[in-house]
Chains A and B, each alone.
Chain A
Amino acid sequence: AQSVAQPEDQVNVAEGNPLTVKCTYSVSGNPYLFWYVQYPNRGLQFLLKYITGDNLVKGSYGFEAEFNKSQTSFHLKKPSALVSDSALYFCAVRDLVGGATNKLIFGTGTLLAVQP
């Protein structure tokens, strides 16, 4: 079965420092991977996705993610963190079971806290 794991419940980083939020996946076949961000009492906002092609995917708000097939990882990165980046981040994989459904399977989320 398809799944994603986010091994860190929380990541703390100082403003201006680079940040990494980790995600590993388990799929049969080619993975389609997504990152979303959720602010308090809000829905999820799409950041970026990997379908195929370049392993480095650029997304919204200066975020990027690196797809690594050998390590089955899709870590989210940003060169310089902002306090306003503090939020809950979810990694997701497209569920390939059941054909063309395209439903997403989400990780449990990582809370990013950026200190000023």
Chain B
Amino acid sequence: DTGVSQNPRHKITKRGQNVTFRCDPISEHNRLYWYRQTLGQGPEFLTYFQNEAQLEKSRLLSDRFSAERPKGSFSTLEIQRTEQGDSAMYLCASSLVWTGGPDTQYFGPGTRLTVL
């Protein structure tokens, strides 16, 4: 059973550039979440998908951020016109929704973004 994978693991970019991250969830997981984690803090929710539908976006997710999950499998998170405040670890998690209670989210290794 392969876990959640994320690429790239590290990204260094200059302010104003666009970046895109990819997340491949655990096979057959129908929910996919994006979180952001800054140093010394716990992860903060950004957005999530059920299959290919994006069902919720956090107010943290400015207009410069966009996420897609076109075929209900992998997802991409794009940040346009990056700012230094975007520097963080971007975590992806996937889960299998069931009717017996809350799903358990399994996290990938994250993509660490550094904006110079």
By a beta-carbon cutoff of 8 Å, the part of chain A in contact with chain B is: 32, 34, 36, 41-46, 49, 51-52, 90, 92, 94-95, 98, 101-109
Contact = CB atoms under 8 A, between A and B. Distances in A.
Interface residues of B, number: 28
**Which of A90, A95, A101 is packed against the most chain B CB atoms within 10 Å?**
A101
Contacts of A41: 109, 112
Interface of B: 4, 6, 31, 33, 40-45, 48, 55-56, 91, 93, 95, 97, 101-110, 112
B95 A102 contact: yes
Contacts of B4: 43
B42 A107 contact: yes
Contact of B102 (A51, A90, A106, A107): A51
A99 to B, nearest CB: 9
A76 B40 CA distance: 20
Contact of B101 (A45, A51, A107): A51
B86 to A, nearest CB: 19
A46 B106 contact: yes
Given A36-B107, A44-B107, A103 B45 contact: yes
